[in-house]
């Protein structure tokens, strides 16, 4: 009887020891996996280890290019790696977006997207990318109002005078843009539809060549972004008639808004956002977002932005994603109501 009891105790202890051994083995295995995870996780903060390419979707000299180069330089200093600017103009910014959407999501290829990319789904029947699904938002870079500008030889000095002139001379005024589907394009189409004016859209391959023709008198008006228009307004080579935001620009406090000039409800804000291909590592996204936020507080950059009527962005990735959805819905409706088409 005693031997039987001893045997039972031995069996019970053996089973308990086996369970304990299995538990220890699981803990060791878990710790090993965790260690591997930490190692993999810890490796990513070394990013970046080589130059980063920032794709600009429009030609050199335009607002997107100006902002991209300024921010790219500061990011290069912060990340201690070159940020190479690569201009890929074409198809209203869609060529560049399509290229970046198919790039490796490793943080070494980025896109400076603009409001034009939120306009594109309403303008184009088919795109090689889905702006809301194929990109990871990193952060808002900047916002700026557009400015309605005309060639100084046009005999108008206010928005009401411009409207009266166009009505008296239908189909004689052309408005230029950085390309079909660009913010300047839809700014003009919205103005055209809200005023019932007969004006013709002339698309260019970028804001710089468009501005050259506006100053030369080949086209008569444009609704251009503030950084691109500002130096030419200040030099007197073009004349500012109205600002497209609901409040006046601190750079041109004497220039009324288009809204207060009689085109009630007219509002266009151009924005610029840093985007990466879908699948970007959360660690790299967090580092990029952090460094971008620091750059956008740089006093030198802020001073230059202010001189051009640009406001630094303060929208992080989650907010930016929701903002893009709202903007896409808004501009799809504008395209439909204005009847804008891609030339």
What pLDDT does 42 receive? 40
Q: What is the 3-state secondary structure (H, E, C) of the chain?
A: CHHHHHHHHHHHHHHHHHHHHHHHHHHHHHHHHHHHHHHHHHHHHHCCCCCEEEEECCCCCCHHHHHHHHHHHHHHHHHCCCEEEEECCCHHHHHHHHHHHCCCCCCCEEEEEEHHHHHHHHHCCCCCCCCCCCEEEEEEEEEEEEEEEECCCCCCCCHHHHHHHHHHCCCCCEEEECCCCCHHHHHHHHHHHHHCCCCEEEECCCHHHHHHHHHHCCCCEEEEEHHHHHHHHHCCCCEEEEECCCCCCCCCCCCCECCCCCCCCCCCEEEEEEEEECCCCHHHHHHHHHHHHHHCCCHHHHHHHHHCCCEECCCEHHHHHHHHHHHHHHHHHHHHHHCCCCC
Rounded mean pLDDT, 63-72: 94
- For the segment 231-261, what is each residue's pLDDT rounded down to a tens digit? 999 999 999 999 999 999 988 999 999 999 9
What pLDDT does 179 receive? 80
Q: What percent of the chain has pLDDT over 90?
A: 72
pTM: 0.75
Domains and CATH numbers, the chain: 47-143+271-338 (3.40.190.150), 145-243 (3.40.190.10)
- For the segment 101-141, what is each residue's pLDDT rounded down to a tens digit? 999 999 999 999 999 999 999 999 899 999 999 999 999 99
Flag whether pLDDT at 9 surpasses 80.
Answer: no
């Amino acid at each position: 009887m005693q031997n039987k009891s001893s045997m039972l105790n031995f069996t019970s202890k053996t089973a308990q020891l086996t369970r304990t051994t299995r538990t220890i083995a699981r803990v060791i295995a878990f710790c090993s996996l965790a260690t591997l995870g930490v190692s993999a996780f810890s490796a990513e903060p070394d990013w970046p280890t080589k130059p980063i390419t920032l794709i600009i979707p429009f030609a050199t000299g335009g607002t997107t290019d100006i902002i991209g180069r300024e921010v790219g330089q500061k990011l290069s200093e912060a990340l201690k790696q070159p940020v190479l600017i690569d201009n890929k103009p074409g198809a209203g910014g869609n060529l560049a977006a399509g290229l970046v959407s198919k790039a490796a999501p490793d943080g070494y290829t980025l896109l400076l997207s603009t409001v034009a990319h939120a306009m594109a789904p309403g303008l184009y029947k088919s795109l090689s990318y889905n702006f809301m699904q194929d990109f990871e938002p990193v952060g808002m870079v900047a916002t700026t109002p557009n400015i309605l500008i005309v060639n100084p030889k046009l005999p108008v000095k206010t928005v009401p005078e411009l409207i009266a002139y166009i009505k008296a001379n239908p189909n004689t005024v052309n408005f230029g843009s950085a390309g079909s589907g660009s913010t300047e394009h839809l700014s003009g189409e919205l103005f055209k539809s809200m005023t019932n004016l007969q004006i013709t859209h002339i698309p260019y391959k970028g804001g710089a060549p468009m501005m050259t023709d506006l100053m030369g008198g080949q086209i008569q008006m444009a609704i251009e972004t503030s950084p691109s228009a500002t130096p030419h307004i200040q030099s007197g080579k073009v004349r500012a008639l109205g600002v497209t935001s609901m409040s006046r620009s601190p750079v041109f406090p004497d220039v009324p808004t288009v809204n207060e000039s009689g085109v009630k409800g007219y509002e266009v804000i151009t924005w610029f956002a840093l985007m990466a291909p879908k699948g970007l590592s959360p660690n790299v996204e967090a580092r990029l977002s952090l460094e971008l936020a620091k750059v956008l507080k740089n006093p030198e950059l802020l001073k230059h932005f202010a001189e051009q009527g640009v406001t630094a962005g303060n929208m992080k990735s989650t907010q930016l994603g929701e903002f893009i959805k709202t903007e896409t819905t808004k501009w799809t409706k504008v395209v439909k109501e204005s009847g804008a088409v891609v030339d």
